[in-house]
Structure 1
Amino acid sequence: MDRIPGKNITAKILALILATVLWLYVMNEQNPPIEAGFTAMLETRNADGGYIVTNAPDAIQVKVRGPRSIIAGLQARDIRAYLDIRGLGEGKHTVKVHASVPASLELVEVNPDTVSVTIEKAINKQLPVEVSLSGTPADSLVVGKAVANPQQVTVEGPKSLVNEAQRVVAPVDLTGKNGDFDVSVPLRILGRDGKEIKGLTLYPGQVSVSLNLMKGVNKKILDIKTIVFGNLTPGVTLKRIITEPDKIEVSGPNDVLDKLDSVYTEPINVTGITKDTAREVKLQIKEGLVASQNSVIVHISVEPKPAVPPPH
């Protein structure tokens, strides 16, 4: 009769419940749930073709809760944080930050939970590569020629930044060089103010520069003169234009230097200027000459045009 099914079923159920409670107690004692914070890289998803998201933070903070043993082995790359910008057009938007964590964990907090971003059209343009020289070569050598290959590159990125990009520079250090050489250098993108612009992509990102060093040259200090074109805004007149510096040291063959008293800037367009302005402008250096710098800051000062008295 002791083997009749169902007998002592209550005792068996109580034993199972007791075992489960005991297991949960042991697990909480040995592997209790804890909270931890992680820095997660922020991705952008579902951007419409031809658009780029700018001003978004690179990373956000995520807090999770779970068993200590799992938290201990968790890495930041196991957490995915992203912005879903499906259907959003150009302009500024406030976008919710989404985060996904492993199934065994609970997502506690995302900070910030929304971010402000700007969506812009992606464009590109081509710019010539300028070789920017620094340092002094050995044995009083000077550069006879510096040629970049390729001589033109493509700048790509958000429309606002691409429109700011005015120059692409290949910096080359001549310190201690004692003969012709080739060097591969990364490029820098500069704006109208001469400052480097970040957030753009160059194709290619670096160029090869071939330099020819030669002897038998002299140095000469030359005045810097400006070339101006365009029309100022009505009611405004040009007060003065000065360059910083106003003179520059140029090295090269004697027969070329003897014919020079000054160096000219590239043409400066003053159309639409309504207030005092400073611009970095490239110098027109003749081939075979080397200047101590390839560009100068031009300060353009304007003032209101005097009123014309009415005729009597």
Structure 2
Amino acid sequence: MKKKKLSLNKLFQNNKFLIILSIVISTITWVYMSMGTTNDTTVTISNIPIQIELPDQLDNNGLQVFRDAEQTATVTVTGSRAVLGSIGTKDITVTGATNGIDSAGTYQLSLSAVKANPSANFQIISTVTPSNVNVIVDYQRETSFPIQENVVYKVADGYYASTSLASKNITISGPQTEIAKIAKVSASAELDSVLNAPTSTTANIVLYDKTGNKISTELLTMEFTDVEATISVLPEKTVNVIPEFINKPKGLDLNDDMLTVEPSKILLAGPKEVLDNTDSVKLESIDFATLSNKRYEYDTQGINIPSDCKNISNSTSAKLVLDLSGLSKKTFTVDSFKVSGLSSKYKADVTQTSMNVTVIGSEKELKSLKSSDIEGVIDTSDQSGTVGSVQMPVTFKLSGTDTCWVSGSYKANITISEK
């Protein structure tokens, strides 16, 4: 008798068999899933924010906690896979113990962790990492500091460079003990190329204490952390320094024995088109009417330079020596006056009949000069509608000489009236 062979094809076509097979597979799957979700596992939760709150008394007094805001904590939790699959940093609260803080200072706080929801179905099974955190308890302070430029570069020969910052000051806030350490704020950058044209760069803000050491900015809030530095590059030119005089007799020759200027030359930096038309610069003017036959020394005579240029020499002023001691002086009585600068609405009568004036010049010129060669010019340009008897400044014109001048300040009496 032949045995019947088992046919898988016929077996899978049997409805009863398929029903039984489905029940078996479902049961096995349910058992596996049940075992997987009930078994506990562990998960490490990182980047948990650290919460630190001062006691109310200190908080009300204005004290604050300062620390590295980027510092976070890590803990390990246990629970079922189904629960831990949805656990995040928001489900755990890490706090620093502040019960030992009673005043401003530096403290090390121990950290602890609890579940944000006490009834949550997981457990914290490890201590907090790190176990403690360093903080500063202090008063908030905000101060503005000047920024010192510290941009390093090389300049091509024949050129001058200067640096300007987009901001001259910076506001920094933080614990007052840290703010008090700041002695200098620097904008630092370094360029590798040799400059012969204007450029700009970004300079980093660096803080220094009084000994020159860098200060950490972890606990500080700065208005900005870098600033734009603009580097102006200009060509250079050496120019002569010459004196400037007012009321100097046009024929008076001031030789090297009578006049010296130191420095006699300075170095200018400026736009090429300006330097091409500049061969000299003038000193602050000296009025010959204030000079007598003496030796004068002006130690800090200002140097006037074109507005678009910079004086890059070591000296920003010059020493001028003017020796007029070789000249003579003589007093003359002037009785000739005329009025200038008077409005056409008015007339003036000179009530000053004569005036003694001092004239400076060579002995030879003074001997040949006569009182009739001197005329007083009364300037009424500042009259501004004044009428009646007034005193007005007088200048003098000398005829027959172009090397002498009247020394001193004079005023003449006149009467002004409407026409």
Aligned to 1:37: 44
Q: Which of 208, 217, 222 is 1:202 aligned to?
A: 222
State yes or no: 1:123 paired with 2:108.
no
Quick check: 2:98–2:109 contact (8 Å CA) kept in 1?
yes
Residue 103 of structure 2: aligned partner? 89
Q: Is 1:143–1:289's contact at 8 Å kept on the other side of the alignment?
A: no
**1:68 and 1:196 mapped to 2: Cα distance?**
49
Residue 108 (structure 1) shift: 1.8
Question: Quick one: distance in 2 between partners of 1:27 and 1:217?
Answer: 92
Deviation at 1:72, TM superposition (A): 4.7
CA distance in 2, matches of 1:159, 1:114: 24
Q: Give the superposition deviation at 1:128.
A: 1.0
Cα distance, 1:28–1:95 mapped onto 2, change above 3 Å: farther
Q: 3-state SS of the aligned residue for 1:109?
A: coil
Describe the shift of the 1:217–1:70 C-alpha distance in structure 2 as closer, same or farther (beyond 3 A): farther
d(CA) in 1 for partners of 2:31, 2:139 = 55
Unaligned residue ranges in structure 1 (runs of 5+): 1-22, 219-253, 258-285, 291-312
* Residues 29 and 194 of structure 1, relative CA distance in 2, 3 Å threshold: same
* CA-to-aligned-CA distance 1:286-308 (integer Å, 9 cap, x gap): 98489xxxxxxxxxxxxxxxxxx
Q: Distance in 1 between matches of 2:85 and 2:143?
A: 49
Match of residue 122 from structure 2: 105
1:85 and 1:143 map into 2 onto residues whose CA distance is 58
Q: Which amino acid in the other structure matches residue 210 of structure 1?
A: T
Identical amino acids, percent of aligned pairs: 16
User: Taking structure 1 as reference, are residues 214 and 106 closer, same or farther at Cα in structure 2, changes over 3 Å only?
Assistant: same
Secondary structure of residue in 2 paired with 1:185: strand
The answer to whether structure 1 residue 150 and structure 2 residue 170 are counterparts is no
Q: State whether residues 96 and 110 of structure 2, in contact with CA within 8 Å, keep that contact through their aligned partners in structure 1.
A: yes
Higher relative contact order by CA 8 Å / sep ≥ 6: 1 or 2? 1
AA partner of residue 27 (structure 1): S
The count of residues paired between Structure 1 and Structure 2 equals: 205
Deviation, structure 1 residue 30: 4.6
Distance 2:105 2:236 in 1: 59
CA shift for structure 1 position 55: 7.5
Residues in 1 aligned to 2:311 and 2:49: alpha-carbon distance in whole angstroms? 49
2:169 matched to 1:159? no
The 3 A distance-change label for structure 1 pair 212 and 38 is same
TM-score (norm 2): 0.40
Tell me the alpha carbon deviations over residues 141-200 of structure 1, each in whole angstroms, 9 at most, x when there is no partner: 755321223211122212222111111111233332442234443311122232321122
SS in 2 for 1:204: coil
Q: Which residue identity does 1:43 align to in structure 2?
A: I
Q: C-alpha offsets along residues 81-132 of structure 1, whole Å, 9 cap, x if unaligned?
A: 2336488531344534243446342222232555454312222322211111
1:172 has 2:193 as partner: no
Letter matched to residue 34 of structure 2: M
The equivalent residue for 2:75 is 62
> Is residue 32–residue 68 contact of structure 1 (8 Å, CA) maintained in 2?
yes
Give the TM-score normalised by structure 1: 0.52
Q: Report what 1:308 is aligned to.
A: none
Whole-angstrom distance in 1 between the partners of 2:172 and 2:234: 34
Structure 2: gaps of 5 or more residues: 1-29, 239-264, 269-309, 315-419
Q: How does 1:269-288 map to 2 (within 5 A)?
A: 288=312
The structure-2 alpha-carbon separation of the partners of 1:151 and 1:116, relative to structure 1 and needing over 3 Å to count, comes to closer
Instruction: Give the conservation status (yes or no) of the 8 Å contact 1:40–1:62.
Output: no
1:238 corresponds in structure 2 to: none
SS at match of 2:227: strand
What's the secondary structure of 1:46's corresponding residue? Answer: coil
Indicate conservation of the 8 Å contact 2:37/2:80, yes or no. Answer: no
Q: Which amino acid in 1 is paired with 2:234?
A: M
2:235 alignment partner in structure 1: 215
2: distance between equivalents of 1:287 and 1:51?
A: 51
Q: Partners in 1 of 2:80 and 2:122 — Cα distance? A: 8
| Separation in structure 1 between the aligned mates of residue 311 and residue 114 of structure 2, nearest angstrom | 60
Does the aligned pair in 2 maintain the 1:56–1:117 contact within 8 Å? Answer: no
Q: Which amino acid is 1:39 matched to?
A: S
Change (3 A) 1:216 1:63: same
CA distance in 1, matches of 2:313, 2:171: 28
